[in-house]
């Protein structure tokens, strides 16, 4: 496909995201099966349902553009999923595998957030306001999934601390957690203002 205009680039990047989402749809059930933590299993299962809706949103946009959603392989997502598969193959201890899969899933979320933020901005610039709204919905969902993963990661850090016999008072308080999250910026919802 020739990329002569911003609209060409927009369609190309939407196709990349469409392929990325479909790769994620295949990977999530496998990750849920390998997770030991019930909450993490649930988080992967929930995100699978959310991803199905995100695929449908992209299909609506392609229909509106009268274009095919197929024709682009998302190599970035392929690489991220391969890294998760490599981790699973190493057969680490269950807690370590869970922590590694949370990390892999957060890499995926951040990759998607970058991609959706870009196409939402292109949609606005091209005057596709309805597309921009749909893409923002997905962007918000990816942000929420990322926050849930952060919470799970922090909880597993606490479990580890308990295992090492660390006194409970040394575990971080809610206020400390809030401050740290605020400082890292990871809690800020992806918004149209950013």
Q: How far is the CB of 20 from Fe ion (least distance, A)?
A: 7
Torsion angles phi and psi, residue 4, rounded to 5: -95, -25
Q: Tell me whether residue 51 or residue 136 sits nearer to Fe ion (CB atom).
A: 51
136 interacts with Fe ion by CB under 5 A? no
54 scored as a contact of Fe ion (CB under 5 A): yes
Stretch that binds Fe ion, among 5-13, 105-113, 146-154, 155-163 (CB under 5 A): 105-113
Q: Which stretch binds Fe ion (CB under 5 A): 88-96, 107-115, 118-126, 169-177?
A: 107-115
Nearer to Fe ion, 138 or 156 (CB): 138
Q: Classify residue 91 as left (phi > 0), alpha (psi -120 to 50) or beta.
A: left
Nearest CB to Fe ion, comparing residues 98 and 146: 146
Nearer to Fe ion, 28 or 40 (CB): 28
- Using Cβ positions, the residue closest to Fe ion within the complex turns out to be 54
Give the side-chain half-sphere CA count within 13 A for 192.
12
Which DSSP string do the residues of 95-116 spell out, in sequence order? HHHHHHHHHHHHHHHHHHHHHH
Q: Minimum distance between the CB of residue 81 and Fe ion, rounded to whole angstroms? A: 13
Q: Which is nearer to Fe ion, 110 or 172 (CB)?
A: 110
Rounded CA-CA distance 130/17 in Å is 18
Which of these ranges, 51-59, 96-104, 168-176, 180-188, lies near Fe ion under the rule CB under 5 A?
Answer: 51-59
Alpha carbons within 13 angstroms on the beta-carbon side of residue 42 total 5
Q: Which of 134, 110, 112 is nearest to 192 (CA)?
A: 134
What is the biggest distance separating any 2 CA atoms in the chain, rounded to whole angstroms?
A: 62
First to last CA, the chain: 31
Could you tell me which stretch among 60-68, 72-80, 104-112, 148-156 binds Fe ion (CB under 5 A)? 104-112
| Contact positions vs Fe ion (CB under 5 A) | 51, 54, 112
């Amino acid at each position: 496909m020739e990329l002569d205009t911003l609209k060409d680039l927009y369609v190309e990047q939407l196709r990349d995201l469409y392929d990325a989402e479909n790769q994620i749809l295949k990977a999530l059930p496998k990750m849920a099966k390998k997770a030991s933590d019930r909450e993490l299993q649930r988080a992967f299962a929930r995100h699978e349902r959310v991803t199905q809706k995100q695929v449908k949103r992209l299909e609506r946009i392609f229909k509106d553009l009268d274009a095919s959603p197929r024709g682009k392989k998302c190599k970035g997502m392929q690489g991220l999923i391969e890294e998760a598969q490599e981790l699973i193959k190493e057969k680490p201890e269950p807690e370590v595998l869970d922590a590694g899969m949370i990390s892999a899933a957060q890499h995926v979320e951040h990759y998607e957030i970058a991609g959706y933020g870009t196409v939402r901005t292109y949609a606005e610039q091209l005057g596709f306001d309805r597309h921009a709204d749909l893409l923002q919905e997905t962007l918000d969902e990816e942000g929420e999934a990322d926050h849930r993963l952060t919470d799970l990661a922090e909880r597993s850090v606490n479990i580890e601390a308990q295992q090492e016999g660390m006194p409970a008072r040394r575990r971080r308080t809610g206020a400390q957690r809030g401050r740290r999250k605020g400082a890292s910026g990871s809690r800020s919802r992806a918004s149209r203002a950013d």
